[in-house]
Amino acid sequence: MGLQTKLFHQIGLAPHKSYPLALSLQLYGKPGLPHLLEKTGQRKSKNFSLEMQILFIQPAVGKKAHTPYTKTWQMEPLAIAVLSAITPPHIEKIFFDDRIEEIPYDHPADLVAITLETYTARRAYEIAAGFRKRGKTIVMGGFHATLATQEVMQHADVVVTGQAEGIWQQLLEDFATGKLKKLYQSKQTVETTGIIPDRKIFQHKKYLPIGLIESSRGCTYHCEFCSVYGFYKKCYHSRNLNDIVTDIKQSGKKFFFIVDDNIALDREKTLAFCEALKPLKINWFGQVSIHIGNDPQLLKAMHESGCIGVLIGFESFRKENIRQMDKKVNERNTDYQMAIDNIRKHRLMIYGTFVFGYENDTQEDFDQVLAFARKNKLFMNAFNHLVPFPGTPMYERFKAEGKLLHENWWLMDGYTFGKAVFNPGILNAEQLTHLCYTYRKKFFTWSSILKRSTDLKANLSSVKKAMVYFMANLSSRKDVEIRQGLPLGKNDNQ
């Protein structure tokens, strides 16, 4: 399962695939922007570059009345830190996070840059409309901008698609000279060496004390439900190892989530990555595929580097589902139990993820997964319904088969987070929605949390892991209720 989908459903990086993080606005570039010229109709100073302001915005998914925003979705948005790092120092940078603070629609910034993925698209459009009414220029980018470009162009003055190394610099130059284009498209392969995210832009914001680190981009798999392949295509590359180490040191944090879709795709580079982390004395959690269960050397290296747990997309016990989703790594590694046993031998906690909504799925599939997760005392487990993100093979298949209830479901009035938007087969959309919600609650009952906490091989194999285990499970228990039925957008009438 891809980053935007996984993280958004499970720990809140909003995929996709969701920090995603889902990384929302993939705008990287090289510093050294030439002197910015005066923007026609704006400020009159010839020394315009010293006065220019850019306002970066991270939109929320939505808001329930009288309910706090989902705590596990309140992490530092990595893409914003990268944008800040590549913006020339003579340009003033301001950042507002819609998840934790009010948006200042009357701010005098010259340019407003908004990141978005599918679940935050509606809110992003609301924010953009508020600023455009005040005559501001809006730039949008991210997964959704890349996969639903024509839609996003209706709500922004400028749209950036893909990884925009170099494009951010050109965009700023064009803005300064009054030559902005409607669309900026990145190259498939980009250079990121030397770029260290600028986390100073997050000062005084109350995020979870977890650092987000990127060690690679893209994925060589192309699962039908995942928007990562649609975004990166066949492009996969690793980040410079020295940059990763510098990034970690400068962050000042000791616990990290590695946002890569699969940190173990390139075995030799993963081993080198682990070796580089050893002297740093940090702890980290990352996403991998099931194949690492057959690689004791890699598991040992990960453990010794400070890894305390891994997120694995088991996806389904049905072979026909695995074939349909085209997840070949799971087709080749079918012994989930053996993989789990080997991973636990190296004291790594396991966050399992399963998806439901294929043709023959029934409530028995939910029962089987719940029993499996409890038996193996999984650190966490996700019961996710399939989400037909635009630009994915699954979206096109559901559309062709007439399964989609609404094509642009993310903009539909009345749509809420956690609601299935297609009729699977044996189950209908309403039943699928109810079962996912019900089994999440079952997994996070007090008895389940306490029973799984008795795992001395992984979950309670150290004081740190015990703290992470209880904090994550108690927070997720609460968030099940907060997330379910969360309306997209805020409608703050700006």
pLDDT tens-digit series, residues 144-195: 999 999 999 999 999 999 886 778 888 999 999 999 999 999 877 777 889 9
Question: How many angstroms separate the CA atoms of 331 and 313, rounded?
Answer: 12
Question: How many angstroms separate the CA atoms of 23 and 10, rounded?
Answer: 15
Taking the whole predicted model, whether its pTM rises above 0.85 is answered as: yes
Give me the pLDDT at residue 74, please. 85
Coil/strand/helix, residue 29 = coil
Q: Which residues pair with 114 in a beta bridge?
A: 57, 140
Neighbouring C-alpha atoms within 13 Å toward the C-beta of 209: 7
Segments of the chain with pLDDT less than 50: 1-50
Q: Where are the beta strands (DSSP E) in 364-406?
A: 380-385
Give me the pLDDT at residue 127, please. 97
Give me the pLDDT at residue 493, please. 61
Query: Which domains, from first to last, does the chain contain?
Result: 3-185 (3.40.50.280), 200-483 (3.80.30.20)
DSSP H helical ranges for 414-462: 429-443, 446-452
Give me the pLDDT at residue 164, please. 66
Q: What does the block give as tokens for 123?
A: 């809110």
Contact 357, 424 (CB under 8 A): yes
* 93 Cβ neighbours under 8 A, 6+ residues apart: 53, 54, 56, 84, 87, 201
> Alpha-carbon torsion 107, 138, 210, 375, what sign?
positive
Question: How many angstroms separate the CA atoms of 240 and 251, rounded?
Answer: 17
Q: What does the block give as tokens for 238?
A: 């690793």
Contact 145, 113 (CB under 8 A): no
Q: Is 318 exposed, middle or buried (0-12, 13-18, 19+ CB in 10 A)?
A: middle
Question: How many angstroms separate the CA atoms of 70 and 475, rounded?
Answer: 9
